[in-house]
Amino acid sequence: MNYRLLSIFLCLLISGCASTESISPAVPDPSLQQEDLLNSLNAGGVRRVQVGDELRLILPQRRFFIQNTMHLKVSAYPVLGQIVTLLNQQKNLGIEVLAYTPSADLQQQTTDLAQLQARAIEEYLLQQGLNTRLIVARAWDSPHQACRKGGRFVQDPVQIFCIEIRTRHLHTEDSD
């Protein structure tokens, strides 16, 4: 009796497995993934500006760094990881990480801090697997350039405007 029940159960199990369709997981649309990623970055405080083929990501200094240090906040790591994901979707990028200061006339330590913050972002992006052919980190301390090129977040201290990540596609002659 037990043998018959076991045989019937096995037959039903095998026939049930054979008749079910295999369901493959749905592959999300890449444009929807891109849109979700951009929305997530926006929610993380990153402003995105597209100027021709140049992409600019503007990060509020206050959200990414412990005040008056070059040390990244733990809360910045997920957003920076998303930036790596976004930038790795493009090939042959040249990247500039710029930290804005209001003027070269301010204390040297402010410019030094901006340089250290730009380098901290650069190093973290590379550690997270950023695939780029060229990356440069520097402080941008000209008041005229900062007014034209960058923005200031209301909550940020006066000493540092923001961190800006600029990308552009490299042509063959640019990367040699």
Report the alpha-carbon distance of residue 98 to residue 141 in Å, rounded. 10
Q: Is residue 3 part of a domain?
A: no
pLDDT tens for the chain, 176 residues: list them: 667 766 776 666 677 655 555 555 566 677 788 888 889 999 988 999 988 888 899 998 889 999 888 999 999 999 999 999 999 988 888 999 998 866 555 556 677 888 999 999 999 999 999 988 899 999 886 554 444 444 544 554 444 568 888 888 887 655 44
CATH of the domain at 34: 3.30.1330.60
* CA–CA gap between residue 176 and residue 172 (Å, rounded): 7
Kindly report the number of other CB atoms within 10 A of residue 16's CB atom: 9
CA nearest 114: which of 148, 161, 156, 62? Answer: 161
The Cα–Cα gap between 120 and 168 comes to 21
Structural domain range at position 97: 30-152+160-169
Query: Rg for the chain (alpha carbons), in Å?
Result: 25
This model's pTM is above 0.75: no
* 18 domain residue, yes or no: no
Q: Is residue 12 part of a domain?
A: no
5 domain-assigned: no
Helix (H/G/I), strand (E/B), else coil: 53: coil
Task: Identify whether 63 is part of a domain.
Answer: yes
Q: Tell me how far CA of residue 11 lies from CA of 6, 21, 112, in angstroms.
A: 9, 18, 75
Number of domains present in the structure of the chain? 1
Q: Is residue 23 part of a domain?
A: no
Length of the chain: 176
Asked if residue 21 is part of any domain, the answer here is no
Under 8 Å between Cβ of 138 and 61: no
Given CA atoms 43, 45, 51, 52 in this order, what sign does their dihedral have?
negative
Residue 13 domain-assigned?
no
Q: Taking a C-beta distance cutoff of 8 angstroms, is the pair 167, 94 a contact?
A: yes
Closest to 86 measured CA to CA, from 54, 124, 130, 44: 130
